Amino acid sequence: MHAKPYDPLPIGVLALDGQMRIRAWNRWLAEHTGIADSRAISQRLEDLFPGFCNPRFQMAVEQVLRNDGPQILSQALHRYLIPITLPHLARQGFELMQQHVHIEAYEVDDERQALVSVIDVTGSVLRTEALTDVAQRLEHDVNRDPLTGLFNRRFMWEWLDHQQRQAQRHHYPIAAMMLDVDHFKRINDSHGHLIGDRVLQEFSQQLTAWVRESDIVVRYGGDEFLILLPSCDQALSHEVAERIVQQTRQCSLGELPASAVTCSLGVALFEPDHPLSPADLLNLADHRLYLAKQAGRDQIVTGS
């Protein structure tokens, strides 16, 4: 059999016999691999592409030759069959053409062969990834505060509503810490809004670093922040709150010297045996933050 009957097709077509030797190799494959059909015929894929090893493909060919039923190797699972380089897409993370492969039985001159179709789906994969990136950016923009990159109140309400149901079901507490930067207006007035923004940005970064990955840090508004800590009881929440106040005092934020920026913090606890609504939980934390500021700032107030 010659490759010419498959030459007009805009996909790669090759045929394999029972010994996995190539019996047909169309023009599309010759143009995209740089391997002429005269060189490909009677060779195995591993002869043409050193290092080629695809047990799933070999098993699929054997099943087709034995059972007639077609086989598919999707790009999502296998990415590609034949390593065809795409230098113009290397910067986008696609050095090799992404391929969808279809294998079916074919009879020629009383010999059963496996007819392999190789379809270039790189463009489709690129579009899908681009759409995914756009969706992720949109989700980020919707759920994040633009100045600090922290979660915003929209995300916070959704997260807290779901997390409280989980806490009720699995019986664990949630700590809510409301905090703000002490005398932030004075910082803005004395050093300018640019320094004030840097203080908020660097403070946000530190808060994220000081808590666990499972905790949620929210810019609640202005210089006020909220930290939600699942599976955090009274003792642990007190320890974390004290550490945040102490480390804030020791940090240099927004080019200001250490101790120039301090914070006050109020802690409230959601407990499954005595549940509070999300609004009541945050109101209680906010009230305790107010008490901390009334008591002189740079300190915490908890329910203990």
- Distance CA(251)–CA(182), nearest Å, equals 14
Check whether 211 has a pLDDT greater than 70: yes
Are the CB atoms for 184 and 295 separated by under 8 Å? no
Are the CB atoms for 274 and 164 separated by under 8 Å? no
Widest distance between CA atoms in the chain: 95
Check whether 94 has a pLDDT greater than 80: no
Question: Cβ neighbours of residue 298 under 8 Å, at least 6 residues apart?
Answer: 182, 245, 249, 262, 263, 264
Confidence of residue 264 (pLDDT cuts 50, 70, 90): very high
Confidence of residue 164 (pLDDT cuts 50, 70, 90): very high
Q: Which residue has the tokens 């995209």?
A: 32
Confidence of residue 137 (pLDDT cuts 50, 70, 90): low
Superfamily (CATH H level) for 4-127: PAS domain (3.30.450.20)
Domain map of the chain by residue range? 4-127, 144-301
Q: What is the DSSP letter of 275?
A: -
Phi, psi (deg, nearest 5) at residue 234: -60, -45
The residue with greater pLDDT, 84 or 4, is 84
Query: What is the CATH code for 144-301?
Result: 3.30.70.270
What angle in degrees, to the nearest 10, is found between the helix axes of 122-143 and 153-170?
90
C-alpha pair distances (Å), 265 with each of 86, 147, 205, 211, 253: 55, 21, 17, 15, 18
What local confidence, expressed as pLDDT, does residue 1 receive? Answer: 43
Cross-strand bridge partners of residue 104: 115
Confidence of residue 3 (pLDDT cuts 50, 70, 90): very low
Question: Cβ neighbours of residue 141 under 8 Å, at least 6 residues apart?
Answer: none
Using CA atoms in the order 199, 204, 205, 209, what is the torsion angle rounded to 10 degrees? Answer: 130
In the annotation, is 223 catalytic? Answer: yes
- Ordered alpha helix ranges (H), the chain: 27-33, 37-40, 45-48, 55-67, 75-78, 122-143, 153-170, 184-191, 193-210, 234-250, 278-294
Check whether 205 has a pLDDT greater than 60: yes
* Entry pTM: 0.59
- Distance CA(160)–CA(284), nearest Å, equals 15
- Distance CA(47)–CA(19), nearest Å, equals 13
Are the CB atoms for 245 and 298 separated by under 8 Å? yes
From the candidates 37, 120, 145, 223, which is the catalytic residue? Answer: 223
CB-count burial class (<10 Å; 0-12, 13-18, 19+) for 43:
middle
For 127-142, b/e burial (b = at least 16 CB within 10 A) is: eeeeeeeeeeeeeeee
For residue 149, the one-letter residue type is: G
- Distance CA(252)–CA(261), nearest Å, equals 8
